[in-house]
Amino acid sequence: MNYRITFFLFLFSTGLMAQTSPGYWQQRVEYQLDVRLDDQTNAVQGREKLKYYNHSQDTLRRVFFHLYWNAFQPNSAYARWAEHTKDFATNKKLFDLKPEEIGKQEIFSVQQNGNAVSYRVNETIMEVELSRPLKPGDYDVFDIAWQGQVPVAIKRCGRDNSEGVAYSFTQWYPKICAYDRFGWHADPYIGREFYGEFGSFKVNITLPKKYVVAATGILQNGNAIGYGYEDEGVKPPPNYGFVNVWKFEADNVHDFAWSADAEYTHEKVKAREGLTLHFFYQPSPDVTPEFAQLKDFAVRNLPFIESEFGRYLYPQFSFVQGGEWAMEYPMMTLMENTKRGSGLTATAVHEWMHNWFYGMIGNNENDFPWLDEGFASYAASDILAHETPDSANALRRVATDVVVQYSARVPEPLSTPANLFKNSEDYFFCSYSKAETFLWQLRYIVGDDAFKNGMLRYYTDWHYKHPTGLDFLREMERASGMELDWYYASWIKTLKSIDYGVEKVAADGASATIVTLKNYGDLPMPAEVRVEFRDGSSEWHYIPLDLQYGTKRFPAEKRIITHDPWSFAVDTYELRLDKSVDGIKSVTIDPERWTADMKRENNGK
Ligand SMILES: [Zn+2]
């Protein structure tokens, strides 16, 4: 059976038992965005028509919009926050911005179903009072007229980034804040994360004709515009005007980004039936080979990616040079290239995987930053490990080693919302390394097959939706047949850490041995113990944790001796071996080093 057929069967079989919470709902948006850019003044004029469906059971009397570009001003909340946290991730002092360098989004008018309504702008958030309450099951059409100024590139969006890419239009239009099971998410922008409603976007971009545009969505008039978007054999007609009007459409996305540069090379490759990958970069002796390598890597690894994490459901994805550092958007990523040297592929894979964890599975990136950053980091490590099996174990341990090394310095738990971390160091540690480690350890707890099935169930049930961390956990519980709340509670919500060890190996008569294992830490885990004998043989022992109410399934070739569960309330466990102590060479707990064990030196005797 070929891959596509097995995938279809998979969707069909699991689709029958979709496990989204009963009563789950989410809002829907349909955006029509018209934007015109003057590249002499960096002024932007915009019109927005937004059809907004209220699928909640609440009557809405006001709605909120993000105006992200207003953050890029001296004295903004973002500026003050970056100053007092000494934020290393903000690469230019916002206080020093000159008037022509700041970002601005000014609202001329807001209409609800054709009637002007009042609104209040508090920097990056606009609150709109509805003249007619929006009832459950009903929709409103909002018309917004706005103008703005593209900020110099500071964080993610802006003009003239560090590598000379002209325009990175991200978080660029008045975007309605998400309203979900937990209410409004009118989070001010301080350079961190995003969240949005799923729906459709029709976007017309008017700008001088010298620019090549990369964007979320499918270009509708590629044969007229050209620049590599035209169908094979088509010769676009000459454009005698000054501008091009680029018409993009995207469905089932929760944001729309684009970038423009006159120097872009645009290449595309068909990765499989129904999926074209696009690459936009300024060609140079440094950059061109990096993108060539990325192109091969992406096509080669797509089958593995889709088998592990689910099918990529959009018809295109674009890897684009631009923005600041690297950031994910639906159907595209913007990345600076030269800063990472030969690391472009690793970064690009992380950002691409965000189209699963953020893009298709649209978690709230502020409340659950780990649910996309940790997952994209895990996926990238898993894919790179698949690509280079010789370094697979080392790749698996990178994040775990960071956790061991830096845990003591980070006083905030993983569950901290992105905007509330005290500084960027804590945010990166928790949302990336500690969250990636959460998944490697979870895979160790439930086993490879259950882990993979849980990931695929999560994808099947939650794509195009807004899951929380607990929704993911339930999928893993169903896939593994284990209770996992103890692990989630400890690793995500507290600062507890893991430290298991072998306390004592002692003779129990002439022909038996008692191994005393000890939980020196405060986070209980199941234990895997390898015993090596002097005759060269070895045994693998497995002690489940009582709280997990289930047993890991090991691969058949790994012969396992399973013991009675270890109680979470007891810090020692006596493992009895029917072998003389003289014949034992070594006893090691977690010998493959899957856990972030804080004191590896006590793990063996
Ligand atoms: Zn990321």
How many angstroms separate the alpha carbon of residue 337 from the centre of ligand 1?
16
Specify the pLDDT at position 424. Answer: 86
| Average pLDDT for the chain | 93
Q: Please give the share of the chain, as a percent, with pLDDT higher than 90.
A: 86
Please report, for residues 354, 407, 504, the alpha-carbon distance to residue 203 in angstroms, rounded to integers and kept in the order given.
22, 45, 68
In this prediction, residue 242 carries a pLDDT of 96
Residue ranges of domains in the chain, CATH in brackets:
27-197 (2.60.40), 380-493 (1.10.390.10), 500-602 (2.60.40)
Spacing, Cα 449 to ligand 1 middle (Å)? 25
Q: Residue 70 pLDDT more than 70?
A: yes
Spatial neighbors of 180 by CB under 8 A, at least 6 apart, are 26, 27, 364, 466
pLDDT value of position 18:
53
* Whole-angstrom distance, CA of residue 348 vs CA of residue 350: 5
Report pLDDT for 341.
60
* pLDDT range class, residue 16, cuts 50, 70, 90: very low
Q: Is the pLDDT of residue 7 over 60?
A: no
Reading across the β-sheet that carries 212-215, which strands appear in turn? 158-159, 167-169, 258-261, 212-215
Q: Which two tokens stand for residue 282?
A: 């300024």
Q: Which pLDDT belongs to residue 43?
A: 97
CA of 428 to the centre of ligand 1 (A): 10
Closest residue by Cα to residue 250 from 214, 218, 206: 218
Distance 361 CA to ligand 1 centre (A): 14
Q: With contact defined as beta carbons under 8 Å apart, do 337 and 163 qualify?
A: yes
Query: Mean of the pLDDT values across residues 356-370?
Result: 95
Gap between the Cα atoms of 266 and 418, Å rounded: 34
Instruction: Measure the CA–CA gap between 26 and 361, rounded to whole angstroms.
Output: 13
Instruction: Give the SS3 label for residue 235.
Output: coil
Distance 372 CA to ligand 1 centre (A): 7
Could you give the CA distance from residue 490 to residue 519 in angstroms, rounded to a whole number?
15
pLDDT at residue 9 in the model: 40
Q: Which residues pair with 53 in a beta bridge?
A: 28, 139
**What value does the mean pLDDT take over residues 217-245?**
96
Q: How far is the CA of 364 from the centre of ligand 1 (A)?
A: 13
Nearest-5° Cα angle at 126, 122 to 127: 105
pLDDT at 8: 40
Ligand 1 centroid to residue 363 C-alpha, Å: 13
User: Measured in angstroms, how far is the CA atom of residue 435 from the centroid of ligand 1?
Assistant: 12
* Average confidence (pLDDT) over 12-27: 65
Task: Give distance in angstroms: CA of 193 to centre of ligand 1.
Answer: 10
pTM above the 0.85 mark? yes
CB 107 within 8 A of CB 144: yes
Q: What is the mean pLDDT of residues 158-175?
A: 94
| pLDDT tens, residue by residue, 268-326 | 999 999 999 999 999 999 899 999 999 999 999 999 999 999 999 999 999 999 998 88
Looking at residue 17, its pLDDT comes to 47
Distance in angstroms (rounded) separating the CA atoms of residues 555 and 557 = 6
502 neighbors 590 (Cβ within 8 angstroms): no
Helix (H, G, I), strand (E, B) or coil at 130: strand
Order the strands of the 560-562 sheet from edge to edge: 560-562, 538-543, 527-533, 584-589
Number of Cβ within 10 Å of residue 464's Cβ equals: 16
Ligand 1 geometric centre to CA of 175 (Å): 21
Ligand 1 centre distance from Cα of residue 354 (Å) = 6
Banded pLDDT at 202 (limits 50, 70, 90): very high
Would you say residue 13 has pLDDT above 50?
A: no
Which residue type sits at 167? Y
The whole-number pLDDT of residue 23 equals 86
Nearest in space to 519 (alpha carbons), one of 495, 493, 545: 545
Three-state SS letters, 248-288: EEEEEECCCCEEEECCCEEEEEEEECCEEEEEEECCCCCHH
- Indicate the pLDDT class of residue 337, thresholds 50, 70 and 90: confident
Q: What is the b/e burial string over 429-456, where b = at least 16 CB atoms within 10 angstroms of the residue's CB?
A: bbbbbbbbbbbbbbbbbbbeebbbbbbb
Residue type at position 236:
P
Q: How far is the CA of 11 from the centre of ligand 1 (A)?
A: 27
Helix (H) or strand (E) holding 527: strand 527-533
Q: Which residue has the higher pLDDT, 506 or 8?
A: 506
* Measured distance CA(249)–CA(32) in Å, rounded: 9
- Torsion of the alpha carbons at 492, 496, 500 and 503, rounded to the nearest 10: -160
- Ligand 1 mean position, distance from CA 147 (Å): 30
Confidence of residue 191 (pLDDT cuts 50, 70, 90): confident
